[in-house]
Structure 1
C-alpha cells in the first residue's frame, strides 16, 4: 500500500523520464496506426495479420493515455508507475510480435527503449528483473508460436539476441542511473554544507563591528552588513539605520567613499587616507580588495575606525616600550643595589662631614625613589596571573585595613568604612585587590596632604581622612567601591593625565601607582576611574567598578 500513495519527495527527474516514455509510447502507437492505415504492414513485416495488428494497437492506446495522465497526476508512485508501464509495454509488444509472426518481424527491439527508461527510474536489480521477465516472455511467445507451426532456429536466435540486448542495455542504464544518484547525493551533501558555511559567513559578516561592503563593476552596492548600513544611513540622514540600500549607486549613497575607491583604482599601491563620510563624522580608514583577477571584478571594502586603528598601533608601541623598560629596569637594579649598599656603608662612617652627610642623604633618597620605580616597572612586566574569587567586600576591607595599619603608627592613617552591606560581594583576585587599595590609600595620604606642602616621610601623621563606601550602580548591576579622601583634590588641568605612566605632580612620586592600579583592575575585568567632586567639595574620589560576582559566596582570606 505504501507504493500507491502520492510521494512528493521523489526525484523530479524520475517524473520527467516517466512522462517522456509516456509521450514516446503515444508517438509509437500513432506511428503503428499510420503503418496500418497506409497498408504498409505487409511491406514492413513479411507475415502479418492486419486485423489483429490493428486491434492490438488500438487496445494499446487506452492504457498509454491513462499512463500519460498518471505521470502528470503523480499517482500512483513513480516506482509503481514504472512497473505498470513496463508490463503494458511488454504485453503490447509481445502481442504485436505474435501478430507479425514472431521475432523475425523486428518488433522485439521496441522493448529496449522502455527497458532502458525504466532502468533509470528503478534500482538496478529491478531493472534486471524486468529484462529477465521480458526475455522469458519473448522466448515463451516464440515457443508458443512455433509449437503451432514448424520450428525455425533463426527465430529462436533472434529472440535470444533480443534478450541479450535487453540485459545489456538494462545493466548499462542501471549502472549509469546508480552513478548519477550517487553523484546527486554527494552534490546535495556538499550543497548543504556550502549553504551552511554561507549562512555562517553571512552571520559573521553581519555581526562584525567593521563596516563591510561589496561593490560591483558598475559601482553599485551588492552586499552590506549592519555596520555599513548604519554608516551610510547616517550619511544620507535617514532615520532608519537598519534599512538596506543594496543595488544603489555608490556615488549617491556615499560620494566620498566613491572618490576614495576611484583614487585606489587609479593607484592601488598607495596607502589609503582616512575619510569622513559626513561632515563632523568619525574618521574612517577604507581598505579595498579586488575579488578576482579581472579589472571588472567586484571590490570588497572594509571601513575601520581610524581612531581605533591608531589606538591599536599605540597599544603595540606601548607593549614594546614596556618590554624595553622592563629590560632596562632589570639591568639598572644590580648597579643600583651596589650604590645603595655603598651609601649605607658610607653613612656609618663617624668622620663624615655634615655637608657630605647631607649630600649622602640626597643620594639615598633618590636611590630609594629609583628603586621604587624599578620595582613598579618589573611588577608590570612580571604580573602574576589573576585568580578572581568571590569576596565579601566588607570583611575583606576590614582585613585589608588591618594589614595596612601594621606598617603605620597608630592613628597615622585614618581609614573609615561607611555603610557597606555585609553580603555585598565582588569578584577580584584578593592579593591584587589589596595591592590596588594600598596604592590608592598611599596616594591619598602622600599626595592629598594640606595645601602648605607635601609630607616628606610616610611615617609622619597626615591630616587626611579616607573613607570607603560601596553599593551597586543600580539594582542587579555590577558592584562598586568608592575611595574618598578629604585632601586638597586633583587640579582640573591634570585629571586627563592621571592614569598615564610616569606622570606625577609630587617630588617623591614615581607616576606608576595609578597606572599600575588601573592595569590590575582591567586584568580582573574591573574598571578604575576618577570621579570629579562637586563644586566646593574638598578631596579626591576614585571609583572601582567590579565584575559581576558568582555564587557560592565565601569569605576568602588575604594572602600575605
Structure 2
C-alpha cells in the first residue's frame, strides 16, 4: 500500500504523536504489570496445592519456580520503566509483548504444548499492546504471538518425539483470535483517540468562544444581567454594575441589591410590561430594562438588558440636533440669497433722500432685524461647514496674540481689554487656527456683551496650564462681568438659547461643536466672579525637549 498517496502515513503520524502524549496509554501498559504478577501468583498457588491441571505436574519444580521468579522480576522491571516512561511508549509496548511471549511460550512447552490450553494467556498482552500502537504494529504483535505458539508446539513435539498435525490447527485458531482481538482493540483505540481529539478541539473552541463572548459582554455599553429561576444574579457585566451599583454581584438575590428591578421582573413574568424607566437605589440613575427568557422551560434564566435612560435621552437629543442642523443648514442656504437682496434694497432705500421721519425708523428696524437674521444664517452655515478645517500643531501663545490683534482691528471704536497671561511660549496644541480664532471671538464677544450689561466695564483674562495628571493643556477664558445665572448654566450650550434680545443663541453651541471637532472639550466653570470657560485640548505626545519652557514666559497685556 502506498502510504504517501492514500494519506495514511500522515494520519498514522498524527496518531503516533497522540499516542506519545496520552496518559491513558501508559495506564494500559501499567495494568499489564499487575496482570503478570497475578498470573505468577495463580500458577504458583495451583502448582503448590496440587489442584492444578495434570499438565502442570509435568513441569520440573525447580525450573518452574525459577521461571516464575524471573517472570515476576521482569514484570516489576517493566512497571518501573512505565513509571519513568523511558524508553518511549512504542518501545515499551514491544518489550512487554516480547517478555510475555517468551515466558508464556516456555510455559506452554513445559506444560505439554498447545493442548495444555495455556496459550490463551497471551491474549491479554496482545490486546493491551494493540491499544497503544499503530494498526500495522498491532498486526505484527498478533503475528508474533501466533508464531510463538507454533514455535512452542513444535518444540514440544520435537522434545516428546510425538508428531500431531492437529495441534497446529489449534495454534492457528488461537492465532486467528489474536489477530481479530488485536485489530479490533486497535480500531477501538484509534476511534477513541479521534473522538478524544475532536472533543478536545471542540472544547477548546467552545472555551475560546465563551471567553470571546464574555469579553464582548463585559465591554458592552449596555448593562447585561442574567437572573436564574431563583431570582439570583448569575452573571453581570461592568456596565450593569455601574448603573445598579457594586453590590450587584453573582450569587446574590436580586431583591436584596435591586428591589425595583426585582419588582419589574415580577411584573414582566406576570405579563405586566412597564415602559417607564426604573430608579436604581444604589446609584440614583434611571435605567430602562428589557427582559428575555433564555430557553423554553419555566425555570430558564432571564436576560436583562439595561440602558441608561439619561444617556438614551441624550442620544435622542443628539439625533434630533443632527437632523435639525441639516434642516436649518438647508433653510439657511435658501434664505441667504433673498436675504441679501433685502439687505441690499434696504441700503439703497437708506441712501434715498425721499425716506424721512417714520419711514426712516421703519427702514432702520428692517435693516436691524434683517442683519440679525443674516447673523443667524451665517452662524448656521459656518456650523455646517466646520468639517473643512484642518487641525495641526500650533503655538498657543502665538495664536492668542494673533487672534487678539485681529479682534482689536474688528472693534476699532471700542475698548475691550484682554489680558493674556500665564501662557508659556512652549505650549502647543493640535487645533485648526481658524476654528480656534472663531471660538475665541465668540467667547470674547459673550464676555463683553453679556458680562458688560448695565454699562459695566469688563476685562477678559486668558490663562493656560498643563494638567499634571495626564499632561493635557487647559486654557481658561474668564471675565469680571456680571456672570451667568445658576438657572441658566445648564442651558447655555443649547442651540438658539440666548438671554440677549439681539443674540442668535448659536455662539456657545458653535464653540462647543468646533472644539469637539478638534478633539477638545469646552465647559463652563462655575463659581467665582464673572464667567469662566475652560477649553481642554487633546493630549499630545511630544519629546521631552519640546516641553521645556522657553526663556521668556512673562505674561503680556493686550489692551483693546
The two structures share one fold, judged by TM-score above 0.5: yes
Match of 1:422 among 398, 420, 425: 425
Separation in 2, partners of 1:244, 1:490: 41
Deviates more, 1:144-153 or 1:368-377: 144-153
Tell me the equivalent position of 2:515: 521
Tell me the equivalent position of 2:260: 256
Separation in 1, partners of 2:81, 2:330: 84
Q: Is the 8 A contact 2:343 2:370 kept in 1?
A: yes
Alpha-carbon spacing, 1:109–1:247, altered in 2? closer, same or farther (3 Å): same
Shift of 1:401: 2.4
Alpha-carbon spacing, 1:287–1:70, altered in 2? closer, same or farther (3 Å): farther
Deviates more, 1:112-121 or 1:487-496: 487-496
Shift of 1:118: 1.6
Deviations 1:496-548 (A, max 9, x none): 321111011223211001111012212333222233463xx4x4332222222
Alpha-carbon spacing, 1:331–1:146, altered in 2? closer, same or farther (3 Å): farther
Match of 1:551 among 533, 542, 550: 542
Separation in 2, partners of 1:548, 1:305: 29
Shift of 1:181: 2.7
Q: TM-score, normalised by structure 2?
A: 0.78
Q: Is the 8 A contact 2:277 2:289 kept in 1?
A: yes
Alpha-carbon spacing, 1:40–1:244, altered in 2? closer, same or farther (3 Å): farther
Match of 1:94 among 105, 113, 132: 105
Q: TM-score, normalised by structure 1?
A: 0.78
Separation in 1, partners of 2:272, 2:542: 56
Tell me the equivalent position of 2:72: 62
Q: What secondary structure sits across from 1:384 in the alignment?
A: helix
Q: Is the 8 A contact 2:422 2:465 kept in 1?
A: no
Alpha-carbon spacing, 1:109–1:347, altered in 2? closer, same or farther (3 Å): farther
Q: Is the 8 A contact 2:472 2:538 kept in 1?
A: yes
Tell me the equivalent position of 2:152: 141
Tell me the equivalent position of 1:541: 532
Deviations 1:407-438 (A, max 9, x none): 44376554332242111222323232122112
1:381 equivalent in alignment to 2:346 = no
Shift of 1:310: 2.7
Match of 1:12 among 23, 36, 41: 23
Separation in 1, partners of 2:475, 2:127: 84
Tell me the equivalent position of 2:557: none
Q: What secondary structure sits across from 2:460 in the alignment?
A: strand
Separation in 2, partners of 1:53, 1:352: 150
Q: What secondary structure sits across from 1:518 in the alignment?
A: helix
Separation in 2, partners of 1:488, 1:225: 47
1:451 equivalent in alignment to 2:458 = no
For structure 1, list consecutive stretches of 5 or more residues without a partner in the other structure: 1-8, 43-47, 235-240, 454-462, 555-560
Separation in 2, partners of 1:545, 1:173: 75
Q: Is the 8 A contact 2:451 2:481 kept in 1?
A: yes
Separation in 2, partners of 1:252, 1:324: 49
Aligned counterparts, 1:272-287, within 5 A: 273-277=277-281, 281-287=284-290
1:247 equivalent in alignment to 2:251 = yes
Separation in 2, partners of 1:475, 1:295: 53
Task: Report the RMSD for the aligned CA atoms in angstroms.
Answer: 3.9
Q: What secondary structure sits across from 2:430 in the alignment?
A: strand
Match of 2:404 among 393, 398, 401: 401
Separation in 1, partners of 2:469, 2:279: 42
Tell me the equivalent position of 1:433: 436
Separation in 1, partners of 2:338, 2:114: 115
Q: Is the 8 A contact 1:451 1:488 kept in 2?
A: no
Tell me the equivalent position of 2:362: 359
Match of 1:318 among 317, 321, 326: 321
1:50 equivalent in alignment to 2:57 = yes
Deviations 1:222-259 (A, max 9, x none): 33445656777x6xxxxxx5x78543333344433322
Shift of 1:32: 5.7
Match of 1:305 among 308, 311, 326: 308
Tell me the equivalent position of 1:530: 524
Alpha-carbon spacing, 1:425–1:295, altered in 2? closer, same or farther (3 Å): same
Shift of 1:143: 3.9
Tell me the equivalent position of 1:557: none
Q: Is the 8 A contact 1:29 1:60 kept in 2?
A: no
Q: Name the count of aligned residue pairs.
A: 520
Alpha-carbon spacing, 1:212–1:412, altered in 2? closer, same or farther (3 Å): same
Separation in 2, partners of 1:77, 1:430: 77
Shift of 1:262: 1.1
Alpha-carbon spacing, 1:27–1:218, altered in 2? closer, same or farther (3 Å): farther
Tell me the equivalent position of 1:457: none
Deviates more, 1:427-436 or 1:194-203: 194-203
Q: Is the 8 A contact 2:59 2:111 kept in 1?
A: no
Shift of 1:106: 4.9
Shift of 1:296: 0.4
Separation in 1, partners of 2:57, 2:96: 25
For structure 2, list consecutive stretches of 5 or more residues without a partner in the other structure: 1-19, 548-560
Separation in 2, partners of 1:385, 1:170: 80
Alpha-carbon spacing, 1:160–1:447, altered in 2? closer, same or farther (3 Å): same
Deviations 1:410-468 (A, max 9, x none): 76554332242111222323232122112212333443445159xxxxxxxxx654332
Q: What secondary structure sits across from 1:496 in the alignment?
A: coil
